[in-house]
Structures are given as C-alpha cells and as structure tokens.
Structure 1
Amino acid sequence: MFHYFLQLNFATILISLFMLIFVNVNPVFQRKVIRLFSIAISSVLCLVIVDSIEYWCATLPYPTMLRVAVSIIGYALRPTNICFVILLSCGNRVSQKFKKFIVLPGILNMLIASTALFSGVCFSYSDKNEFVRGPLGYSAFAASGFYLILLVILTNKLYKMEHTYESLIAIFIAVTNTIAVILEAFFHYDGLINTTGAVSVAFYYMYLTTQQFKRDPLTRALNRRYFYLDADRMMKSKCLTAVISIDLNDLKRFNDENGHAAGDTALCTIVACIQNILPRGCHLYRTGGDEFMILCSRVSKDDVPALIDHMRRELSKTLYCCAIGFATPDADEDFEHICSIADAAMYANKKQLKGEDTIR
C-alpha cells in the first residue's frame, strides 16, 4: 500500500512542497496573490492526503464513515485547482459579484458530495465496501468541466488586447486537466487530477513570474525591452502595419505641482484608458518616463487615424492630455526610421497643443 502511494504521489508531493516553499520565500507578487497560490498548492496536498486515506479504507472488507468523510473532501477539492487558476488569471479584472458566481459550482459540488452522509444520491458504499456512484456522482467532474470552459472563455476575452500566446497558456492548462478528468472519471486512473493540478499551479506560477519581466511595474504596460523584441518579430514577419508614438504632456510640471504620486496616477490612468480601446493586434509599451509606443499588426493602415481619434476622445474624458503621432511602414523600411517619423508626427502634434491647459 505504501509503495503504491509513494509511486502514485511522489512527484505531486515534491512539486507541491517545492512550490509552497518557493512562493513564500520569493515574494514577487502581492500578498493576496501569494496567499491564493499557497491555498491552491495546499489544496493539492490535502487532496493527496485524503485520496491516500481513501485508498487505504478501500482495502478494508467493510465500509467506514472515515472513507465516506475523506471521499466527500476529495469530491469537494477536485474542481478547486482550476477555480484557483481562474481567480489568479482573471481575479483583478472581474467584479466581486462575478467572483461569487465563479465559486458557486464548487460550493454546489461540495453540497452534493455531502449528501453521501445520509443518502446515495452522489455516491455510497455497499456492505462489501464497493463504491457505488449515484445519479449525481459526476458532480465533481461536471464542476471541473465548467471551470475548464470558463477558464478558456475568460482568458480569451480578457487577454484579447495582448499577445495571443498568453491565452494559449490557459488553453494548455484546460486541455491537460480535461484529459486528467476524463481518464479518472471514465477509465479509473488514480492520482491524475492531483498531479495535473500541481503541475498546472506550478506552470502558471512560472508564467506569471515571466510576466513580471516584460511589463512596466507601475503601469503594467509592456516595457521597452519587449517593444524592440516585438518590433523585430513583426518586422521579420512583415506584419507591422503602424507605429504610434504617444507622449503625456507636461508630466514634469504636473509632478512638481501635485507630487510624484499624482504623476503615477496620471501615467496609470492614460495606460488604462488606452488599453481599454486597443483592438486585437495592437500592443502598448512604456518606452520612457512619459513616452509610450503602440505597435499594430492586425489593424489596416487606413484604420489607424480612426483609432487615434478614438484614443483622443477617450483621453479627453480624463484630466490629462497626450500628443500622438503615427507612421506606417513602407517596403524594406528600417524600423528606427519608422519610429523617427512617428515621433516627428507626435512632436508636431505637441506643438499644436502647446499653450493649452494639460489639466482640464
């Protein structure tokens, strides 16, 4: 029994313990994110423990309340890892009301599993200690399936303005967990959901960690390094359709008069304003203190002026004013030359705005 337990769960336990230690000694994220990761990893370890107890109880010739109790806990915990991944990836971008909706299937699954204490509607054990699945016995797998579908939908929606491969991370997690759920539910493989859950949490942690190195820590716009990396990729694939140069007017004066915290608020406000209206294929980068660039790869050259007009209308609703210029590349044109044209157009716009109040 111990040999089987060790063989089944050694990798899962090792990954979970390593992640639990690493997440807490390497404070890359905010405390609430670290706490959520810790809870997710702890739930995997807890699932390993209750499954191991359930395996031992299954060797007995008679049913016990201990087996019923740990089976209920196992049912309740199985869908939680995907729920945690959803909260980690989308938690800051959905409302509190929607977060409550997200946890409802998990709570419903837990309530259904709890009926095993007094009925067989979810599951029960025969006099010979054989597992008997009830009419609602697939509730844990149904909840897992719901979370997997929701994960793909939410990430595709929330990351539509950013790099497409970021949504592929969620799809990869969804596919691997779907395979694990199917193999456990219909082919009676043991421990796959535990291992896949641990790997998913670890994989998502590594993914989020890499994101810290590609984004500006203040505004969360992509940083200067990734601006040139993405530009090089787009130029090589010949998919770059426009470069937009943006400059926040009079940021220094605004900092001097209102303080640096107010300046930070100004930068974050204009980034949020622009990000909210950028179509798919357009990416915003912070390339300097008050300087931003946008690379467009799926927007036609003819649509760029309309996009800039939309940006100006949205920015006019804030307290801040930005100078904006753009350039569209010609065949075999050097990227630095394209940027210089966009910057020149931006500075021309800045001259037009000179003398206007930048704080309205």
Structure 2
Amino acid sequence: MEAHIAAALVPLLGWAVHGSVLTHRLAAARRDPLTGLHTRAGWTARAEHCIRRHPAAAVLLVDLDHFKTLNDTHGHAAGDAALIAVADRLRTWCGRNGTAGRLGGDEFVAVVRDMTTADLDALTTALHRPLNHAGMSLPLAASIGTCRVAELPVPALSDALAAADAAMYAAKGRSRRGTHPSH
C-alpha cells in the first residue's frame, strides 16, 4: 500500500517544484537585472496599490541627463555604473515611504506615500552627486518630474505618469519632441 501512496506523491512533488520555479521566474522578471529595481510591471502593481491607499501619494519620473554622452565617452561599464548608482540613490531616498522602479534605458520612476514628508531637494542633491568609477569622478545629473496624485481630477496612475513626464521635460527645458518651449 505504501508504494501506491509514494507513486501518487511523485507527480504532486513534481508540480510543487514546477510551481516554485515558475514563481521564482515571475519574481525575477519583475526586477531589473542590472539595478535590482522593480521593472515596469512590478512597479506598476505597487504604485497602483500605493495610490489607492495614500491620498498624499506622488509619482516621480527621473531621467538621467547626458547619459548617452557619458556612455559614449567613458564606455558601457561607466554607463552601467551610473545606472546602478542612480538606482541605489533613488531606492535609498524612497526608503520605507515608497517604491522605485526602472522603466528602461536611463528612465526611472518612483511612487511615495506622502510627498509632504519627502525631501525632493535631497533627491536632487543625491542624483547630482558625481560617481566615482575606475579612478575617475564622473558627473551625474538628472531631471525629475513630479505629480501629486491629489491634484489630479481622477487619481489614476496613467494620468500621474503623464503629468510627471510633462513636468520632467519642462525641467529639462524642452518638450517631448526635443524642441525648446519658445519655438
């Protein structure tokens, strides 16, 4: 009788292992392999939850300035180091008040529960601190756009991202198409 029970348990064990592997792969897919930050999918789920629960929430969009130049001048290893540094600085700034993510390329995103307690000047300072890489001090700069969700007619993540994107490009001093606003 015990042999029959063991034979019945083998497929169940196989399914349990398979399920565990799939769960691990799904979790890994929601993390950026370079920076360890949440990818768009992982971050979006957390951001939507945060916006629903915290009326003072805000969404931030961060774009590295002159990243292509840094990458072309100092190499891809320096570019990767810059992305990792920005991710670490953004994650540290968010702390327990929010969640950071990497949308791709040199574009990062964050949601914070309460923008009134978040120090945006501290984030700006951190993101503009030079990066020590391979014995050199590389300049870093980033443009930040923010949107306080309470200021939207409807507290929707897509609208908050669009508003933060517009604010970020205004901070860069140009429109989405790359032209100066006065043109």
TM-score under structure 2 length normalisation: 0.70
Q: Which residue of 2 aligns with 1:312?
A: 124
- 8 Å CA contact 2:47–2:99 kept in 1: the answer is no
Separation in 2, partners of 1:9, 1:318: 62
Aligned pair count? 162
**1:1-360, aligned counterparts within 5 Å?**
3=2, 11=9, 15=13, 19=17, 203=20, 205-235=21-51, 237-239=52-54, 241-297=57-113, 300-304=114-118, 306=119, 308-319=120-131, 320-330=140-150, 332-351=154-173
Determine which structure has more spread, i.e. the larger CA radius of gyration. Answer: 1
| Aligned-pair identity (%) | 27
Residue 302 of structure 1 aligns to a residue whose secondary structure is coil
Separation in 1, partners of 2:22, 2:5: 26
Label 1:210 to 1:337 Cα distance change in 2 as closer, same or farther (>3 A).
closer
Structure with the higher helix share, 1 or 2? 1
Q: Which residue of 1 aligns with 2:177?
A: none
Alpha carbon RMSD of aligned pairs, Å? 3.2
Paired AA for residue 344 in structure 1: A
Deviations 1:196-247 (A, max 9, x none): xxxxxx74x5543221121222222111233433444444x35361001101
Residue 215 of structure 1 aligns to a residue whose secondary structure is coil
Label 1:227 to 1:257 Cα distance change in 2 as closer, same or farther (>3 A).
same
Residue 144 of structure 2 aligns to a residue whose secondary structure is strand
Paired AA for residue 323 in structure 1: S
Superposed displacement of residue 270, structure 1:
1.0
Separation in 1, partners of 2:32, 2:73: 24
Separation in 2, partners of 1:301, 1:265: 28
- 8 Å CA contact 2:101–2:109 kept in 1: the answer is yes
- 8 Å CA contact 2:94–2:110 kept in 1: the answer is no
Separation in 2, partners of 1:222, 1:12: 36
TM-score under structure 1 length normalisation: 0.38
Label 1:334 to 1:274 Cα distance change in 2 as closer, same or farther (>3 A).
closer
Structure with the higher strand share, 1 or 2? 2
Separation in 1, partners of 2:45, 2:12: 36
Paired AA for residue 349 in structure 1: A
Question: Highest relative contact order (Cα 8 Å, sep 6+), 1 or 2?
Answer: 2
Deviations 1:298-333 (A, max 9, x none): xx23123x1x22223333443222111211022524
User: Which consecutive residues of structure 2, in runs of 5 or more, have no partner in the other structure?
Assistant: 132-139, 175-183
Q: Which residue of 2 aligns with 1:153?
A: none
